Amino acid sequence: HSGPKVALLGANGGIGQPLGLLLKINPNIGRLALYDIVGTPGVAADLSHIDSPAEVKAFTGPQELQKALEGADVVVIPAGVPRKPGMTRDDLFNTNAGIVRDLCEAVAKTCPKAFVAIITNPVNSTVPIASEVFKKHNVYDPKRIFGVTTLDVVRAQAFVSTMKGTDVSKTTVPVIGGHAGVTIIPLLSQVKPSVKFSDSEVKPLTERIQDAGTEVVQAKAGAGSATLSMAFAGERFVNALLKGLKGEKQVQCAYVKSDAVQGVEYFSTPIELGPNGVEKILGTGTLNAFEKQLVQSAIPELKSSIEKGVKFVKK
Ligand code: APR
């Protein structure tokens, strides 16, 4: 099986299963390693019957984690517990922080050069957690660690095109900042092709994009958070990483180590992806007054989420 290896950690989950399906039918992938603490043989047997080239293998439990990771070019992590109604993303912190730390320990030992795409929330903290683990093992490369914020972009593009009647397949909306609540900053002034929003449209649309995760949590009424749209977004981001790896430069928004905004160590902006991961941080572009205000409101929460993640690993 020629082509890159992708390891999916948390492959039996609400996100993991549809993400595994989308990765299985991605023609750019040679090998797909499905890892979870439970249930991977069933998912792998099921997916392996699809007549697409990727070879699918199951790995179950910590004793098989190393084998799942060996030779991986990209590691995608949706392992964790999802948000339930009444829970904020931060309520998940302790459980998910420990899961991401332990999985990244294994990545640092087994495939330290892999790109690591983290879906597990709170992403604003789990990306710093992963980074601290890699630092501890002296294999830290900030160009290779990504918080997947693609769902915020996907949602913004869906909502804007529905509202304005534009062709959704051609509508692009950069979303910067982080991946929770007020840290999610859609740049409606930079929508392409350009559309005009009235003042009375900008605020509610911005808030809808920021709270879109809650719409899904409430509609699912106790059954979890976004899984299908998240899987779609995750596959889009992994595919961009794989194309970048092949030398086809890609532009995506992602939450990475960045100096785009003073005072916060990790920040999402459009970035250029290539063979080394982050090739260039493209930055925020020109913000209007409203967007500048959104960035200012996001900074304290970003700072404290980052600090919380760093402390979790250091303690
Ligand atoms: N290693 C590997 N997999 C694990 C581990 C672990 N240590 N702990 C839990 N898992 C697996 C579970 O067995 C389950 O299959 O992670 C999967 C999580 O699936 P769900 O509970 O269905 O959660 P999901 O909706 O997929 O969300 C997972 O992604 O977007 C985030 O906020 C979301 O943090 C949550 C995560």
ipTM, interface predicted TM-score of the complex = 0.98
Q: Please tell me which residue in 1, 49, 137, 179 is annotated as part of the active site.
A: 179
Residue 238 CB less than 6 A away from ligand 1: no
pLDDT tens figures, 141-187: 999 999 999 999 999 999 999 999 999 999 999 999 999 999 999 99
**Rounded to a whole number, what is the distance in angstroms from the first to the last CA of the chain?**
42
pTM, entire model: 0.97
Q: Compute the distance between CA of residue 290 and CA of residue 207 in angstroms, rounded to an integer.
A: 13
Question: Could you tell me which residues are annotated as the binding site for substrate?
Answer: 83, 89, 121, 155
Q: How far apart are CA 48 and CA 43, in angstroms?
A: 8
Residue range 113-136, pLDDT digits in tens: 999 999 999 999 999 999 999 999
Nearest atom, ligand 1, residue 12 CA:
15
Name, in order, each residue with C-beta under 8 angstroms of 74's C-beta and a sequence gap of 6 or more.
4, 5, 6, 7, 114, 115, 116, 117, 238, 241, 242, 245
Q: Is the CB of 18 under 6 A from ligand 1?
A: no
Closest ligand 1 atom to Cα of 89: 32
What is the bridge-based pairing of β-strands 145-147 and 115-118?
parallel
Which of 15, 92, 255 has the most ligand 1 atoms within 8 A of CB, as the residue to mutate?
15
Q: What is the pLDDT of residues 262-309, one digit of tens each?
A: 999 999 999 999 999 999 999 999 999 999 999 999 999 999 999 999
Give yes or no for residue 89 having a pLDDT over 70: no
Is 179 among the residues known to form the active site? yes
CA distance 296 to 303: 11
Is 283 in contact with 269 (CB distance < 8 Å)? yes
Instruction: Assess whether the C-beta atom of 64 lies below 6 angstroms from ligand 1.
Output: no
